[in-house]
């Protein structure tokens, strides 16, 4: 990528691709022609890049806990929660059993329809990945189906680095179903199965329930493991300490968390908070 | 708390209680949305009000000058938008409480008359 020395460098979770672009358009109303370098990846991958020295002025991730796990206090002072979302099962009009799948039988469809392909993102790189594993754990308990988590984990066909890749794979017909954020599903125009609030990781009222789900991933150092506990989905944004455009970054965050940014987030299926 | 669900043949709409309830909780203690959703549950045992509805109402209330939000940082967690009640919010809460007192009186009168008529007609 060609780099501009004065460019505003934004690193963000793939799921935020569209709203981040729209907020840049708003920023450019005050700074016409402002060079912006926009990069995206799974949130943990983004944070690891910053921890490894990658220059960024703004970092927006799908889980505030990633900041605490990998970036605070050495690379970031604090993060700001700006949006929530929920986990859904995305599909389209060409997905097998698309007309009969529902909130109660989705697991039967995924596990028993011959040749069906479903995907999740990589829990080591992307919060959507570990949230999918948490969703499956919670579903096992909620639907009283012992062994469901293990069967779903053994049955997926494709693993992607970030949630946006699942949506692209669904669009291209590489998979039939994908565990995804509702916001991305709406941005891409897919249909989705919405799960009960007890398991979809959207509702602070069920925080204690979500906390029963746990996923172990590799830690900050080789050989170390980190246990991630289930919690309501909260997207957060921060200005890394190595930012060279702190004032501009603050203006961007004011847009993202202000009235116009809230409208952008709403229009893209997120819930500003 | 029910948002527009029928409790019989006459619909009793209580969706207008969302903002007064949020004002009451914020009046009790400045809070962020996450916390308000959790505390709202105590006053809404059926849990029918979704988080998105709470967040949208908080933004609407701020636009209307009833509450004011600032970023509140914590040592162990992220910064969240914390809401405080304004003078206009306190006045709105007072009006809501007065309205509810009036409604309570109306409901009591309704029930008294209804029970009396049932008793007189010999039905129960």
Pick from A180, A264, A251, A260: nearest CA to A10: A251
- Per-residue pLDDT for B4 more than 80? no
Mark yes or no for CB contact A232/B38 under 8 Å: no
| B47-76 pLDDT, tens digit each | 678 999 999 999 999 999 999 999 998 878
Confidence band for A3, pLDDT divided at 50, 70 and 90:
low
Claim to verify: residue A129 and residue A141 sit in the same structural domain: yes
Q: How far apart are CA A47 and CA B30, in angstroms?
A: 32
Q: How many CB pairs under 8 A join A and B?
A: 59
Question: Once rounded to an integer, what is the mean pLDDT over residues B84-103?
Answer: 95
Instruction: Supply the pTM of this predicted model.
Output: 0.89
Cα–Cα–Cα angle for A29, A33, A38, rounded to 5 degrees: 95
Q: Provide the residue ranges of all domains of chain B, joining segments of one domain with +.
A: 15-121
**In this prediction, what percent of chain B has a pLDDT beyond 70?**
84
Claim to verify: residue A210 and residue A91 sit in the same structural domain: yes
C-beta of residue A65 within 8 angstroms of C-beta of residue A141: no
Quote the tokens at residue A231.
């919690």
Quote the tokens at residue A30.
């005050």
Claim to verify: residue A104 and residue A73 sit in the same structural domain: no
- Identify any residues that bridge with A214 across adjacent strands, giving them in sequence order: A229
CATH architecture entry for B15-121: Orthogonal Bundle (1.10)
How high is the pLDDT of residue B16? 78
In a domain, A226, yes or no: no
Tell me the chain A residues in contact with residue B71 when contact means C-beta distances shorter than 8 Å: 80
User: CA A127 from chain center: how many Å?
Assistant: 6
Q: Is A61 left (phi over 0), alpha (psi -120 to 50) or beta?
A: beta
How high is the pLDDT of residue B55? 95
Instruction: Please return the burial class of A191, using the count of CB atoms within 10 Å of its CB with bins 0-12, 13-18 and 19+.
Output: middle
How high is the pLDDT of residue A218? 81
| B69-89 pLDDT, tens digit each | 999 988 788 999 999 999 999
- Among B22, B32, B41, B52, most A C-beta atoms within 10 A, so best to mutate, is B52
How high is the pLDDT of residue A220? 64
Measure in Å the smallest separation between the Cα of B97 and chain A Cα atoms: 26
| B13-32 pLDDT, tens digit each | 456 789 999 999 999 999 99
CATH code of residue A119: 3.40.190.10
Quote the tokens at residue A259.
């009235």
- Per-residue pLDDT for A244 more than 90? yes
Claim to verify: residue A211 and residue A96 sit in the same structural domain: yes
How high is the pLDDT of residue B74? 82
In a domain, A228, yes or no: no
How high is the pLDDT of residue B45? 66
| A142-184 pLDDT, tens digit each | 999 999 999 999 999 999 999 999 999 999 999 999 999 999 9
Return phi, psi of residue A180, to 5°.
-145, 165
How high is the pLDDT of residue B15? 64
């Amino acid at each position: 990528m060609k780099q501009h020395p004065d460019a505003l460098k934004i690193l963000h979770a793939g799921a935020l691709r569209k709203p981040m672009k729209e907020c840049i358009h708003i920023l450019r109303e005050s700074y016409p022609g402002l060079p912006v370098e926009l990069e995206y990846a799974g949130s943990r991958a983004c944070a690891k890049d910053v921890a490894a020295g990658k220059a960024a002025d703004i970092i927006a991730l799908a889980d505030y806990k990633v900041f605490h796990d990998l970036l605070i206090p050495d690379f970031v002072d604090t993060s700001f929660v700006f949006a929530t979302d929920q986990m859904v099962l995305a599909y389209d009009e060409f997905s097998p059993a698309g007309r009969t799948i529902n909130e109660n039988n989705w697991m039967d469809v995924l596990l028993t329809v011959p040749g069906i392909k479903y995907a999740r993102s990589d829990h080591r790189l992307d919060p959507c990945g570990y949230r999918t594993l948490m969703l499956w754990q919670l579903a096992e308990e909620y639907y009283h189906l012992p062994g469901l988590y293990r069967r779903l984990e053994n049955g997926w066909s494709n693993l992607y680095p970030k949630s946006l890749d699942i949506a692209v794979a669904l669009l291209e017909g590489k998979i039939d179903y994908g565990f995804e954020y509702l916001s991305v599903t709406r941005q891409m125009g897919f249909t989705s199965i919405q799960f009960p609030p007890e398991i979809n990781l959207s509702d602070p009222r069920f925080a204690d329930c979500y906390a029963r789900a746990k996923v172990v991933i590799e830690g900050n150092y080789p050989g170390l493991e980190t246990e991630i506990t289930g919690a309501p989905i909260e997207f957060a944004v921060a200005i890394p300490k190595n930012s060279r455009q702190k004032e501009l970054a603050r203006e961007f965050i004011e847009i993202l968390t202000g009235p116009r940014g809230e409208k952008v987030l709403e229009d893209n299926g997120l819930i500003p908070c | 708390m029910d948002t527009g669900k029928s409790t019989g043949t006459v619909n009793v709409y209580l969706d207008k209680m969302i903002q007064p309830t949020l004002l009451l909780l914020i009046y009790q203690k400045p809070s962020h949305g996450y916390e308000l959703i959790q505390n709202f549950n105590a006053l809404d045992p059926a849990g029918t009000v979704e988080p998105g509805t709470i967040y949208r109402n908080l933004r609407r209330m701020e636009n209307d000058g009833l509450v004011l939000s600032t970023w509140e940082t914590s040592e162990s967690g992220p910064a969240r938008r914390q809401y405080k009640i304004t003078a206009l919010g306190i006045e709105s809460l007072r009006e809501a409480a007065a309205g509810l007192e009036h409604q309570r009186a109306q409901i009591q009168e309704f029930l008294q008359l209804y029970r009396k008529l049932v008793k007189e007609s010999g039905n129960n």
